[in-house]
Structure 1
């Protein structure tokens, strides 16, 4: 009989949106978070990310930078527009880029963290929990 840990119970109320255009990586991240009890939804484009975030207001967005059409930078910029209900959603940017040079303003970078790919599963989980716990 499988018992639910306190971390899983705590995480079950936490909604995470995974935005990744590579189906394998999308499934990997989504499954990793789901096995830790997070309520996970995923999309593969920047357009879908913006629409989903505006409609459902997730607790965290795990966002790839290199997306087709609207890239991750533009998604951040759109979600950070003043007066938007999405301005305070924490965003964990994931990228194969080794540098995090930004074209975003300080306002747009509020509540944005960066995580390099490839990554260890345990490190990603720890970072997601750190962000959601406000540490």
Structure 2
């Protein structure tokens, strides 16, 4: 079962998101700020991260930048911003930093679940393709 990390400093919102994901059959872990979120990524290696932008200690833009630039082993891990920063400029900035998607608050729960499931399916296809390539390479070497 894929593991989803929810990094959100607002506890009621974080609980809502986690409850929605778990009701949809997902396994979740939580973090309340960017620093704890980074530590959770390193410790648990989630399959997908839902990341707020405006948080104490380390904001979501910083977390995304560090993960994408300094930790290439997490390059394929989908990171979805879930934030109140809804301006066109913020969405563009988030995507230019490497966010895989950008969902604005207030949360459209159906959109959130559809986006998460879509990204998880995409990751499963990428992993299957990589395994097939390794299998073919192994077969060619034998």
TM-score, normalising length: structure 2: 0.78
Corresponding position of 2:93: 102
In structure 2, what is the Cα distance between the partners aligned to 1:24 and 1:82?
32
| Residues 1:30 and 2:33 aligned together | no
Paired positions, count: 120
In structure 2, what is the Cα distance between the partners aligned to 1:38 and 1:63?
16
Corresponding position of 1:88: 76
| Residues 1:73 and 2:61 aligned together | yes
- Please tell me whether Structure 1 or Structure 2 has the larger radius of gyration of its CA atoms: 2
Which of 20, 34, 39 does residue 8 from structure 2 map onto? 20
**Cα RMSD, aligned residues only:** 1.8
TM-score, normalising length: structure 1: 0.82
The secondary structure found in structure 1 opposite 2:72 is coil
* Structure 1 unmatched runs, 5+: 1-12
Corresponding position of 2:104: 116
What are the equivalent positions in structure 2 for 1:49-68 lying under 5 Å apart?
A: 49-68=37-56
Any idea what the Cα deviations from partners look like across 1:11-39, whole Å, max 9, x if unmatched? xx010000000000000000100011100
* Structure 2 unmatched runs, 5+: 124-142
In structure 1, what is the Cα distance between the partners aligned to 2:72 and 2:31?
21
Deviates more, 1:75-84 or 1:122-131: 75-84
Structure 2 vs 1, CA of residues 93 and 103 (structure 1 numbering), >3 Å: closer, same or farther?
A: closer
CA contact (8 A) 1:96 1:118 kept: yes
In structure 1, what is the Cα distance between the partners aligned to 2:110 and 2:55?
25
